[in-house]
Structure 1
Amino acid sequence: MSSSVVAKPQMRGLLARRLRIHIVGAFAVSLGVAALYKFGVAEPRKKAYADFYRNYDSMKDFEEMRKAGIFQSAK
């Protein structure tokens, strides 16, 4: 009978090696999510606000709300 010797698994430094790999992966994923949020949510939101306030007339909006009866103190 031939008995093959199975190599012992390396246990020393296993946690440190795996942790290093997972930290790099987590850092890459977090940078990706931050970039997606910035360019997918924050920039379009800033553009929408800029477009809205570019031609916004607050006095005209106030007069429309006053005529609609929203305000109780302004007649």
Structure 2
Amino acid sequence: MFELFKDLKKLMTDLSEEVNTMKINLERVQEESIKAERVGQDIQKKVNEFQVSIQPRVEKINELVEQINKRVE
């Protein structure tokens, strides 16, 4: 009977350690997901800035393509 309680105590200690490890890992995942979200936001900001900066060129290209298409027709 003593061995049973001894084994049960060890199992509970191991389980407690694993739960603590899981909590630590979960905190790390949460921290990294916040960092990843910030990186995603920064990337989206840069993409938006790029789109704004090239918009005049895109419009000019579209005008030229339209003129070429009119001449071809």
When normalised by structure 2's length, the TM-score is: 0.60
Structure 1 unmatched ranges of 5 or more: 1-7, 70-74
Point out the structure with the larger helix share.
2
The percent identity for this pair of structures is 7
Structure 2 unmatched ranges of 5 or more: 1-9
**Which residue of structure 2 aligns with residue 72 of structure 1?**
none
Task: Point out 4+ residue stretches in structure 1 off by more than 3 angstroms.
Answer: 57-61
| 1:13 Cα deviation after fit | 1.2
When normalised by structure 1's length, the TM-score is: 0.59
Query: What's the RMSD between the two structures over aligned residues?
Result: 2.6
What pairs up with 1:1-75 in 2 under 5 angstroms? 10-39=13-42, 41-54=43-56, 56-57=59-60, 58-64=62-68, 66=69, 75=73
